[in-house]
Amino acid sequence: MENKVYLEMRNIKKSFNGVKVLKGVSLQVQKGEVHALLGENGAGKSTLMNILGGVHQPDSGSITIEGRDVKMSDPRESKANGVSFIHQELNVVPDLMVYENLFLGTEIKNKFGFLNVEEMCRQTADILGRLGVEIHPKNYVRELDNSYKQFIEIAKSLLHKSELIIMDEPTSSLADHEVERLFTFIRNLKETGVSIIYISHKLKEIEEICDRFTVLRDGELAGAGIVKEFKLDQITKLMVGKAISNERFEHKESQEAVLLEVNNLSSEGLYKNINFSVKAGEVVGFTGLAGDGRTELFESIFGYRKKYTGQIKVRGQVLKIDHPQKAVKAKIGFVPKNRKENAIIKDLSVIHNMSLSSLSKFNRNGLLDQSLERKRFRHYKDLLNIKVHDPNITIDKLSGGNQQKVMLAKWLEADPDILIFDNPTQGIDVGAKQEIYEQILALAAMGKAIIILSSEAPEILRLCQSIYVMYQGEIVSSFNGNRATEDMIMSYATGAKREDEQIG
Ligand SMILES: Nc1ncnc2c1ncn2[C@@H]1O[C@H](COP(=O)(O)OP(=O)(O)OP(=O)(O)O)[C@@H](O)[C@H]1O
Ligand SMILES: [Mg+2]
């Protein structure tokens, strides 16, 4: 492939309320390449892309596309210049068919003014066909997997002649098989000469799908290069300034007290015959592929789902938990996955998002004790390295990873005895991941029972003493963390093997 520069952003600067977020960043993207944009949480990746997408205006700097100077005054102008931004919150309409989504707002009509469904379906099939996507134009979007929803947005942008597509953490809520499908799609997209800017904290993905990379660090350019010419730990070093270990953590001996015990828990169509227990100080992991039922299982234990049979015992006592409030009362905490939909309250300040699960602590004669609240927030800001200049701004202004850290702070502040983390490091950079793991282990060392739900086997392997693998709603295997390997986990998670090795 000849190297032809498609996009150039030069010396881009941007401040918000006097805080310098981009301090003169440059980015060069070639035609038909997948370009990784990397950096720690809060480094400025999304801000740079928001400037390219016309969402924000730079304070200074220039943008050229194929040598032409362009200005992105608003998202519409950015689109007109061939750029399309696939946000994490997808804009597809579930209750419309695929072709209706593609032509929403640009419907084709025949000479009598009626919708030309046939032509729209033909063009939809054509574009999906070229990208190797096997879905019917008349499928309803709500019936499709998540990854297909992204494809529809991308197909829509191609229909409008996009030549550069920005994907900001496109795989953060996809299952493994969906990621593979997305990658096939991206490869086909490249073939058509489209350039892609790919933001992700999953370095394995960078190795697999990206051609070149640019690293931002604290609003500055930290490095750029060809992915194949670098080792992943070199790239990590550019991002965080030091090498990050991948070793398993050592665990302290767990205590004898069983804090959570589950006997024969079943819920029709979701999971069945679940038995396990977690002791004080223990870190237990649950993993599996999409549809394994682990999230639903723990949603029941936390009281989000009422319909189940079997027994949940907390500190030896049988409890009927049919509401999250009861779970909180029983000192159970739950950090859910997909913080955007499930956890953060967008219009609320950063600091109130933190105190939300422990309001009684901050209650001083019916009023909120703001000075205590500020003090507690400062504690977590230092502990978790949360990047925020003013905790009174609404949480949606924080970078994605920092929002996630505030969610962790919220549950640490609530101080439960049993803590369930569903995908705790979603959107968290490699350096901060390490810090969060250390925090989790510190909680265990304090005698809390920790449960980690994750689809990332390496994460489970590094962190957990006992590992349960689920497949289609059942626990198909349990391992001692020291003995487990990624291959062992995968062979059970895919349903290829099943048996129960006793944890011991
Ligand atoms: N609208 C805004 N108002 C104030 N500050 C903002 C705004 N948008 C972004 N910031 C700040 O700019 C910095 C960079 O944020 P950005 O979202 O670009 O980071 P990021 O590299 O995408 O991080 P992540 O990996 O966590 O998504 C952060 O400190 C963030 O709080
Ligand atoms: Mg971001």
Q: Residue whose CA is closest, atom 24 of ligand 1? A: 41
Mean residue pLDDT across the chain: 90
What ligand has the least distance to the C-alpha of 402?
A: 1
pLDDT, mean of residues 35-48: 95
Give 438-449 pLDDT, tens digit per residue: 889 988 998 999
Q: Provide the pLDDT for residue 35.
A: 98
| Weakest mean pLDDT among 103-117, 292-306, 486-500 | 486-500
For residue 399 and ligand 1, the question of a CB distance below 6 A is answered with: yes
Is there a domain that residue 339 lies in?
A: no
Cα separation of 478 and 467, whole Å? Answer: 6
Query: Taking a C-beta distance cutoff of 8 angstroms, is the pair 75, 91 a contact?
Result: no
Q: Strands 164-168 and 195-199, how do they pair?
A: parallel
Q: Residue whose CA is closest, atom 2 of ligand 1? A: 397
Residue 263 has pLDDT above 80, yes or no: yes
**Which of 415, 448, 471 represents a domain boundary (last residue)?**
415
What ligand has the least distance to the C-alpha of 216?
A: 1
Instruction: Render the burial of 170-193: b for 16+ CB within 10 Å, e for the rest.
Output: bbbbbbbebbebbbebbeebbeee
Residues near 487 by Cβ (< 8 Å), separated by ≥ 6?
none
Q: Provide the pLDDT for residue 227.
A: 97
| Weakest mean pLDDT among 17-21, 87-91, 288-292, 466-470 | 87-91
Query: Taking a C-beta distance cutoff of 8 angstroms, is the pair 209, 34 a contact?
Result: yes
For residue 172 and ligand 1, the question of a CB distance below 6 A is answered with: no
Same domain, 101 and 218: yes
Residue 213 has pLDDT above 90, yes or no: yes
Residue 486 has pLDDT above 70, yes or no: yes
- Report how far ligand 2's centroid is from the alpha carbon of 262 (Å): 38
Q: Provide the pLDDT for residue 467.
A: 96
- Residue positions counted in the chain: 504
Cα separation of 356 and 343, whole Å? Answer: 11
Q: Provide the pLDDT for residue 500.
A: 54
Is there a domain that residue 389 lies in?
A: yes
Residue 307 has pLDDT above 80, yes or no: yes
Same domain, 161 and 223: yes
Is there a domain that residue 178 lies in?
A: yes
H or E element that contains 156: helix 146-159
For residue 400 and ligand 1, the question of a CB distance below 6 A is answered with: yes
Same domain, 179 and 224: yes
The DSSP result for 68-83, as a single string, is EEE---SHHHHHHTTE
Same domain, 261 and 410: no
Q: Provide the pLDDT for residue 129.
A: 86
For residue 46 and ligand 1, the question of a CB distance below 6 A is answered with: yes
| Weakest mean pLDDT among 22-26, 248-252, 280-284 | 248-252
What ligand has the least distance to the C-alpha of 43?
A: 1
pLDDT, mean of residues 71-98: 90
Greater pLDDT, 490 or 49:
49
Give 375-426 pLDDT, tens digit per residue: 999 999 998 889 999 999 999 999 888 998 899 899 889 889 999 999 888 8
Give 268-279 pLDDT, tens digit per residue: 999 999 999 999
Residue 502 has pLDDT above 50, yes or no: no
Most confident of 178-187, 468-477, 489-498: 468-477
Range of the domain at 400: 344-415
Q: Provide the pLDDT for residue 244.
A: 79
Same domain, 386 and 502: no
Of 147, 149, 134, 172, nearest in space to 95 by CA: 149
pLDDT, mean of residues 205-229: 96
Residue 323 has pLDDT above 50, yes or no: yes
Greater pLDDT, 41 or 176:
41
Taking the C-alpha atoms of 118, 119, 124 and 129 in order, what is their torsion angle to the nearest 10 degrees? 90
Positive or negative: CA dihedral 350, 352, 357, 360: positive
Cα separation of 209 and 17, whole Å? Answer: 37
Same domain, 15 and 104: yes
Is there a domain that residue 154 lies in?
A: yes
Residue 503 has pLDDT above 70, yes or no: no
Same domain, 164 and 234: yes
Cα separation of 230 and 199, whole Å? Answer: 18
Same domain, 388 and 358: yes
Is there a domain that residue 336 lies in?
A: no
- Report how far ligand 2's centroid is from the alpha carbon of 303 (Å): 32
Q: Provide the pLDDT for residue 266.
A: 97
Residue 504 binned pLDDT confidence (cut-offs 50, 70, 90)? very low
Beta partners for 52? none
- Ligand 1 nearest atom to the CA of residue 40, by list position: 25
For residue 489, the domain's CATH number is 3.40.50.300
- Report how far ligand 1's centroid is from the alpha carbon of 297 (Å): 34
Task: State both tokens at 383.
Answer: 């502990």
Same domain, 491 and 466: yes
Provide the total of helices (H) and of strands (E) in the chain, helices listed first. 17, 22
**Which of 368, 384, 415 represents a domain boundary (last residue)?**
415
- Ligand 1 nearest atom to the CA of residue 39, by list position: 21
Same domain, 69 and 141: yes
Is there a domain that residue 338 lies in?
A: no
Query: Taking a C-beta distance cutoff of 8 angstroms, is the pair 283, 450 a contact?
Result: yes
Is there a domain that residue 171 lies in?
A: yes
Same domain, 292 and 167: no
For residue 43 and ligand 1, the question of a CB distance below 6 A is answered with: yes
Q: Residue whose CA is closest, atom 31 of ligand 1? A: 398
- Report how far ligand 2's centroid is from the alpha carbon of 267 (Å): 37
List residues, by chain if needed, whose CB lies under 5 Å from ion ligand 2.
46, 399-400
How do the residues of the chain divide into helix, strand and coil, expressed in percent and rounded to 5? 35, 25, 35
Q: Which alpha helices (H) appear in 272-365, and where do they start and end?
A: 294-301, 324-329, 339-342, 350-355
Count CB atoms within 10 A of the CB of residue 160. 12
Is there a domain that residue 121 lies in?
A: yes
- Report how far ligand 1's centroid is from the alpha carbon of 396 (Å): 9
Same domain, 258 and 272: yes
**Which of 186, 213, 240 represents a domain boundary (last residue)?**
240
Taking the C-alpha atoms of 372, 373, 376 and 381 in order, what is their torsion angle to the nearest 10 degrees? -140
- Report how far ligand 1's centroid is from the alpha carbon of 397 (Å): 7
Domains held by the chain: number? 3
- Ligand 1 nearest atom to the CA of residue 44, by list position: 18
Positive or negative: CA dihedral 355, 361, 367, 371: negative
Residue 199 has pLDDT above 90, yes or no: yes
- Ligand 1 nearest atom to the CA of residue 401, by list position: 26
pLDDT over 90 percentage in the chain:
62
- Ligand 1 nearest atom to the CA of residue 49, by list position: 18
Helix-helix angle 146-159:117-130, to 10 degrees: 110
